Amino acid sequence: MTIQQLKVLLEICKGKTLLETAEKLGLTQPTVSFHLRKLEEVLGLELVRKTSRKLRPTEAALELLPYIRRIVFLGGELEEHAAQLHNRGGGRLKLGASYTPATYLLPAFFSAFQEEYPSIQLQLTVKKAGTIMAMLRNYELDAAVVSLPNTPEPGLSIQPLLEDELRLVVAPGHRLVGRREIEAEDLQGERLLLHEPGSTSRTLTEEWMNQTEIIFNHSMELGAIETMKEAVKCSLGIAVLPERSVIKEVAAGELIQFRLPNYLNRRYISFVCRADEQLPHNARLFADFITNHFGDQKPLQK
């Protein structure tokens, strides 16, 4: 059994055809077929079936998939680390991030990190926190920086870096401007702009809405924080946004922020990695770099 054989099966499990798998791995189609046959012989299992001129993984292959992902990932890490030892540094760092830290926190740290480790090639994937954590569990990423509630996640170690509280944001001409603080009843009948479903901010906003029992006029879903900020400026509604995302606009007087009534913050920007597993070398360098800046805080789960 070889890493190359496992890579072939992994691509087939992703829904790739023989041709697509061959192109992805730099092989010929007969070589791909040969690797699949040899792997089936070694394991004594049928791993793929041909249906409608396309190969599909069997149930046995899908059951083995978590192990295959891990072995392929560790094989890649072995090659990366060997190259680093040979070249005295370098290699890739595959990070994931949710939208708030990717936009408002990480660029400055990437700049400083690259100055410290110029030979490391950074690769950043930006998606919703839930998607990033799934990619991390599937060994598609080395580590992640995401906005999360302060609750444990199975299989992951979560290191809170800093609070990023949700705030109510309104336009400068809104009727509430001028008050020092607002009550839940002050928001009855307002039009609320919402994050896309599945985001941490949307989940926590809905929890707050249910807790306070505020009845809004109606809501509008917008997929990006920058879009939501522009919509608030144009008086399309009010929004609940991460405090870190509106620092510049609040300082410039373009937006006005309030603390959410009856809200206890549960939102943190956190460094996340797989639990009970040694971090890859470059991910460990980045983890030390960013956590040292924020001081030592206890992980939510190890």
pLDDT digits (tens, 9 = 90+) for 64-82: 888 888 888 777 777 776 6
Residue 71 inside a domain? The answer is yes
Instruction: Say if residues 5 and 38 touch (Cβ distance below 8 Å).
Output: yes
Query: Could you give the CA distance from residue 242 to residue 211 in angstroms, rounded to a whole number?
Result: 19
DSSP secondary structure code for residue 199 in this structure: S
- Whether 300 is in a domain gets the answer no
pLDDT tens digits, one per residue of 191-201:
999 988 888 88
E-strand spans in the chain?
48-51, 54-57, 92-97, 121-126, 143-149, 156-163, 166-170, 192-194, 219-221, 238-242, 256-259, 267-274
Is residue 10's pLDDT more than 50? yes
- Phi first, then psi: what are they for 175, rounded to 5°? -60, -20
CB 160 within 8 A of CB 297: yes
In the chain, DSSP finds a helix count (H) and a strand count (E) of 11, 12
Q: How many structural domains does the chain have? A: 3
Residues with Cβ within 8 Å of 252's Cβ and at least 6 positions away in sequence, in order, are none
Q: Range of 142's domain? A: 89-163+267-294
| CATH code of the domain containing 45 | 1.10.10.10
In this model, does residue 302 exceed pLDDT 50?
A: no
At 149-160, the pLDDT tens digits run 888 888 899 999
Do 278 and 148 fall into the same domain?
A: yes
Residues 158 and 289 both lie in one domain = yes
> Among 84, 102, 126, where does a domain finish?
84
C-alpha distances (whole Å) from 164 to each of 9, 141, 245 are 42, 24, 9
pTM above 0.85, yes or no: no
Task: Tell me, yes or no, whether 149 and 94 share the same domain.
Answer: yes
Tell whether the torsion through CA atoms of 18, 19, 25 and 31 is positive or negative.
positive
